[in-house]
Structure formats: structure tokens, C-alpha cells
Amino acid sequence: MKIICIGRNYTEHIEELGNERPDNPVIFMKPDTAILKDNAPFYYPEFSKDIHHEVEVLVKIKKEGKSISPEFAHKYYDEIGLGIDFTARDVQSQLKEKGQPWERAKAFNGSAPISKFISKAGFDLQKTGFELKINGQTVQNGNTSLMLWPINELIAYVSKFFTLKTGDIIFTGTPKGVGPVSIGDELVGFLEGQEMFRFQVK
Ligand code: ZN
């Protein structure tokens, strides 16, 4: 399976990082070795001093497809989840400066904690709220209504370049409020108020 991530999909997050608004979604990938599941702890890597959380709504692809049109995209997923796109911001800044790829900052071991997946049936994905709390404090509070490219358009765009296969996961971008995590933190994620994950930084 592969993990496809979308960058710069929420206006206010683009502004907080001082990035340009892209003409198309920014796409990058993580390998399957990035996945952490079942609330496994995240071990702070030694190569960074500035690991940031980015809470994101996840989509799990249920059948193979390429060049999917937006109006049929909903047929390619039944389940959604919540995850963290951990980012070594210090490493990413260095790579951006040199115009180099982001893998060392974004695709390292454990950089993709994911929740269980649940049926999308109970959600209006045009306006689904989600939240990340660290040690009980809300740090990110997003809503899919603020996406520049909604989920179905992301699937259409991504599938022009990459055949989507059963089990692939799409990270749909983070809203504003990204920031650092520290050893000892507890991260808890909610989708429409429902707890989706709870894990520690060690
Ligand atoms: Zn992200």
C-alpha cells in the first residue's frame, strides 16, 4: 500500500507557514514504514529538534482506479479516519531552502500515526469537524469545509498521476494550528467529537 499526502489544502495553514497558495494540490508520499497504529507511541527522532503535529482527515481507498472523475470519486472509499502527518520542520526548512525533496522531513519511521477507520456513512464530508488535543488542550480545530480541494477533487487529481489501489491511504492536509510536540506529550484526536486515537510521544 502507499500513503499519499496533500500539502497546503487549508488557506489559514498556508498563511501560517508563509507559503504560496498553490495552483494545484501539493502531493508527497510516505512509505508504509511510516505508519503507527493501535495507539502505538511515537518515538521522537534524534535527527530533529522541531517535530510538528499536523492533524489530518484520512481516506482509505477501497478499489483500484486511475483518472477517476470527481463525480465518481465517492465510489472509491467507504471509510475515513484521522491521523498525524508528523513533520520535522527544521529538516523541512533546510530541504525547502535547497529545493530538495521532503522525504527526510516527512516520511521517516513513525511519521504517520493513523486511527482505526470508520464508515463515512455517518458524516457529511463537506463539513466534518476534527480536533487535536495535546495534554488536554485543543491545538488544532479544523473543518473539511475549509479545504481548498475537497476529498473527491483530491482523489480525482491524485489518480491522474498514481493508480490508487485497495488499502491506500490519503492524508488530506492540515488546518491551521500546527506546532511542536515534546517527549511526554499525549496526543488525542477527535472526528466530530468521537475519539479516534490517543498516543504518547516518547
Ligand atoms: Zn500535512
128-156 exposure pattern, b = at least 16 Cβ within 10 A, e = fewer? bebbbbbeeeebbebbbeebbbbbbebbb
Between residues 21 and 129, the one the model is more confident about? 129
Predicted pLDDT at 23? 86
Above 90 in pLDDT, residue 12?
no
Above 90 in pLDDT, residue 41?
yes
Average pLDDT for the chain: 96
Separation of CA 64 and ligand 1 centre (Å): 24
Predicted pLDDT at 137? 98
Above 90 in pLDDT, residue 13?
no
Domain ranges of the chain: 3-200
Above 90 in pLDDT, residue 11?
no
Kindly report, residue by residue over 86-98, the tens digit of the pLDDT. 999 999 999 999 9
Above 90 in pLDDT, residue 19?
no
Separation of CA 175 and ligand 1 centre (Å): 9
Separation of CA 28 and ligand 1 centre (Å): 9
Q: Which pLDDT band, with edges at 50, 70 and 90, does 111 fall under?
A: very high
In words, the CATH class of domain 3-200 is alpha beta
Predicted pLDDT at 69? 98
Separation of CA 52 and ligand 1 centre (Å): 10
Separation of CA 2 and ligand 1 centre (Å): 15
Predicted pLDDT at 133? 98
Separation of CA 180 and ligand 1 centre (Å): 14
Separation of CA 7 and ligand 1 centre (Å): 5
Kindly report, residue by residue over 62-75, the tens digit of the pLDDT. 999 999 999 999 99
Across 46-193, the runs of DSSP E, i.e. the strands, are 51-53, 55-61, 77-84, 87-88, 112-113, 118-119, 129-134, 137-143, 169-171, 179-180, 186-191
Separation of CA 83 and ligand 1 centre (Å): 10
Predicted pLDDT at 86? 98
Kindly report, residue by residue over 166-202, the tens digit of the pLDDT. 999 999 999 999 999 999 999 999 999 999 999 999 9
Prediction pTM value: 0.96
Separation of CA 34 and ligand 1 centre (Å): 13
Predicted pLDDT at 4? 98
